Structure 1
Amino acid sequence: MTSQCEGINSLIRFYVNCKNTLIDFMHNLDRALKEYRNNELIADFKTQCSEPVMITSLEVYQRSASRYFTRNIFKEICNEIQRVGALNINVLSTTLDKVEFSVTALRDPATDRQVEVDRGKNLFSCSCMLFESRGIPCSHVFCAMKFENILEFPDSLIYKRLTKNVKNEFISRKMRVNDDVERVLKFRVGALASNCNKLCDIACKDLADFDKVQSPFQEVFLEEEESML
């Protein structure tokens, strides 16, 4: 995304300038990459191991979004959900499976967006095109979902590239055996760390779950020690 590229450029500019020698440039760039990767690990940890605060009256949509999306994307979705309260909605047309809405802002009725809902296929489209451009459902779509009394987050509005488990799916489906070894290892470490953090957060809250999770780890460690002897 453009915003991601701008963020990376801003981070690199902090470490690199036109007065650097080639050696300075390489060292500073390496520091920038390490910080960027560290920030990504922190973001992954917060996504997997912390509970978001529900800040809108449409908690059902927030709860659903928190289960699927990374923390940063979840915050952007919450901003869209918050805007629903300032929107008005009217039905333009209805057929057997489809309904078309007109969604306007409370203080700016001239700003009109058309939202189409395919009830049979559970598909949504909006003339603002936010989902097509950013992968984030817009406030107009959430307004239509509220009107239609849709409580579950539709699969058609979940852009997999922005979900929590995208790294796991990438490793299992996309990465080939003959890929660069170091690159494969980094992806595996990230995926395992993410799952381990989530498992620790769940298992430490109950003694029975803790013992259940602890036993397989001890068996693996024991097998590794015996194989090294």
Structure 2
Amino acid sequence: MKKGGIIVEGKFFAGFWTTSINSIIAKYVNSRYNLVEFIHFNRCFNHIRWKEVQADLASMNGRPSMQTCFQQLERSAANVYTLSIFHMFQPILVRATSMKVINMRQTGSYVIYSIGLDRTPNEMWHVFCCDIEMEFNCSCMRMESFGIPCEHIVCVLVHEDIEELPRSLVLPQWTKTTKVGLQNAVGFH
């Protein structure tokens, strides 16, 4: 065997040759990349993991400022959602201030709310609420598409003086506790 080694990013790896390391990596990673490209790839993943840890810390320890007159509802969302999801939800709360319930009617176990803007009453959305299970659906289908309640549903929550986000409007993957549940289930920290 030849004596020597390789230098990768300023570090000397004694006894390794680029071709031998590439063949070892090829056994585990079916790839056309060489060792240096693989190290850059690993560095990229480490950077992504670090940014995720920072975001997790900010979500768990950060206290976002409240921006609407719906303080209790906004605080409820801040306590449940991750910081990035909460920042997506805040503008929805702001837009809900320009909405109002135009009409509501009971049909069986559902209440159907007609929601409109103050300045354009001809444009309407319909929010369906099963008051027994506290489930909400809107004709705009934003909740089904993005997993975040729309301003029309928020308008209904405010109209009904609901100060805490119902569980049906909070997807588990958007919560601060998602990773804790995954870590405990899988058994790693």
State which of 122, 146, 153 in structure 2 corresponds to 1:141. 153
State which of 183, 186, 189 in structure 2 corresponds to 1:171. 183
State which of 46, 54, 65 in structure 1 corresponds to 2:66. 54
Matched residues in 2 for 1:169 and 1:85: separation? Answer: 35
Shift of 1:110: 4.0
Counterpart contact for 1:60–1:151, Cα < 8 Å = yes
TM-score by length of 1: 0.63
* Structure 2 counterpart of 1:115: 127
Counterpart contact for 1:68–1:164, Cα < 8 Å = yes
Matched residues in 2 for 1:107 and 1:23: separation? Answer: 62
TM-aligned CA distance change 1:24 to 1:105, over 3 Å: farther
| 1:31 has 2:47 as partner | no
CA offsets 1:148-184 (integer angstroms, 9 cap, x no match):
11122211111111111111111333x2xxxxxxxx6
Counterpart contact for 1:91–1:99, Cα < 8 Å = no
State which of 93, 102, 123 in structure 1 corresponds to 2:105. 93
| 1:83 has 2:95 as partner | yes
* Structure 1 counterpart of 2:143: 131
Corresponding residue pairs, total: 157
Shift of 1:127: 1.1
Letter of the 2:146 counterpart? R
1:201-212 pair list within 5 angstroms? none
Matched residues in 1 for 2:67 and 2:123: separation? Answer: 26
Letter of the 1:171 counterpart? Q
Considering only CA atoms, is the larger Rg found in Structure 1 or Structure 2? 2
Shift of 1:96: 5.6
Counterpart contact for 1:89–1:144, Cα < 8 Å = yes
Compare the two structures and name the one with the higher helix fraction: 1
- The SS at the match of 2:126 is strand
Counterpart contact for 2:73–2:162, Cα < 8 Å = no
- Gaps of at least 5 residues in structure 2 are 1-32
* Structure 2 counterpart of 1:152: 164
Matched residues in 2 for 1:42 and 1:64: separation? Answer: 22
Letter of the 1:133 counterpart? S
Matched residues in 2 for 1:172 and 1:140: separation? Answer: 36
Deviating 4+ runs (over 4 angstroms): none
Matched residues in 2 for 1:105 and 1:59: separation? Answer: 21
* Structure 2 counterpart of 1:45: 57
Q: Work out the percentage of aligned pairs sharing the same amino acid.
A: 27
Matched residues in 2 for 1:33 and 1:112: separation? Answer: 46
- Gaps of at least 5 residues in structure 1 are 1-20, 176-183, 189-229
Shift of 1:112: 2.0
Letter of the 1:42 counterpart? Q
* Structure 2 counterpart of 1:219: none
Compare the two structures and name the one with the higher strand fraction: 2
Shift of 1:98: 2.3
Letter of the 1:122 counterpart? M
CA offsets 1:185-229 (integer angstroms, 9 cap, x no match):
4xx1xxxxxxxxxxxxxxxxxxxxxxxxxxxxxxxxxxxxxxxxx
Counterpart contact for 1:64–1:153, Cα < 8 Å = yes
